């Protein structure tokens, strides 16, 4: 009989009952932890952008209204696909969900590289997203943001996305250090 590893499996991947079970290797655990780290960092970046947008727009007259641009984009995309877009609060909720998912995946890119380079990567990702959010809506046929006023609205838009990138980077660096015991 072969000796069992710390996972309770022998070399062939059988447990004590003789059933084949998947091996949980250190490498698999490391990859899983890395994916979690990337996703958590991305979610923090997405939440930062969304919370800034949603809270400030309620009190500042010329605040960015990326929610409206997102609603227009979702409606037009669904129309183009031959689907009936939701309306009212349902449209708003679906847009928020889409923003959180897509921004989370985007800001997770901050972790593609060393933790030491996370802040410059986060800044670059945030700056690129912010400039894209300012420049692209009109050429894409999504119009202007409601109550848009230059230079306030475009500057705040870039600032929100930059804050998202930097917060994702800070979380990535901090969690990477905690994971490796270097911080």
Confidence grade of residue 8 (pLDDT, cut at 50, 70, 90): low
CA distance 166 to 48: 10
Looking at residue 1, what is its pLDDT? 44
Contact 161, 134 (CB under 8 A): no
Return the structure tokens found at 3: 């000796």
Confidence grade of residue 3 (pLDDT, cut at 50, 70, 90): very low
Q: Is the pLDDT of residue 2 over 50?
A: no
Q: Is the pLDDT of residue 179 over 80?
A: no
Q: Is the pLDDT of residue 51 over 70?
A: yes
- For helices 88-107 and 118-135, give the axis angle rounded to 10 degrees: 140
Confidence grade of residue 4 (pLDDT, cut at 50, 70, 90): very low
Q: Is the pLDDT of residue 18 over 90?
A: no
Output the CA–CA distances (angstroms, integers) from residue 177 to 23, 111, 115, 124, 173, in the order listed: 28, 13, 8, 21, 6
Q: Which residue has the higher pLDDT, 84 or 146?
A: 84
- For the entire predicted model, the pTM comes to 0.81
- Average pLDDT value over all residues in the chain: 88
- For helices 88-107 and 66-80, give the axis angle rounded to 10 degrees: 100
Looking at residue 16, what is its pLDDT? 61
Q: Is the pLDDT of residue 61 over 50?
A: yes
Looking at residue 24, what is its pLDDT? 65
Contact 153, 63 (CB under 8 A): yes
Looking at residue 183, what is its pLDDT? 52
């Amino acid at each position: 009989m072969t000796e069992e590893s710390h996972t309770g499996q022998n070399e062939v991947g059988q447990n004590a009952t003789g059933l084949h079970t998947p091996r949980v290797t250190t490498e698999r655990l490391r990859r899983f932890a890395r994916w979690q780290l990337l996703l958590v960092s991305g979610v923090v970046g997405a939440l930062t952008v969304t919370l800034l947008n949603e809270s400030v727009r309620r009190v500042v007259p010329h605040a960015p209204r990326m929610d409206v641009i997102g609603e227009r984009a979702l409606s037009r995309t669904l129309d183009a696909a031959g689907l009936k877009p939701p309306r009212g609060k349902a449209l708003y909720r679906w847009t928020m969900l889409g923003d959180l998912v897509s921004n989370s995946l985007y800001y997770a890119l901050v972790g593609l590289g060393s933790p030491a380079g996370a802040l410059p990567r986060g800044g670059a990702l945030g700056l690129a997203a912010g400039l894209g959010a300012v420049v692209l809506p009109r050429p894409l046929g999504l119009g202007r943001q409601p109550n848009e006023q230059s230079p306030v609205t475009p500057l705040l838009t870039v600032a929100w996305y930059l804050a998202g990138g930097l917060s994702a980077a800070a979380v990535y660096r901090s969690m990477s250090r905690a994971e490796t015991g270097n911080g």
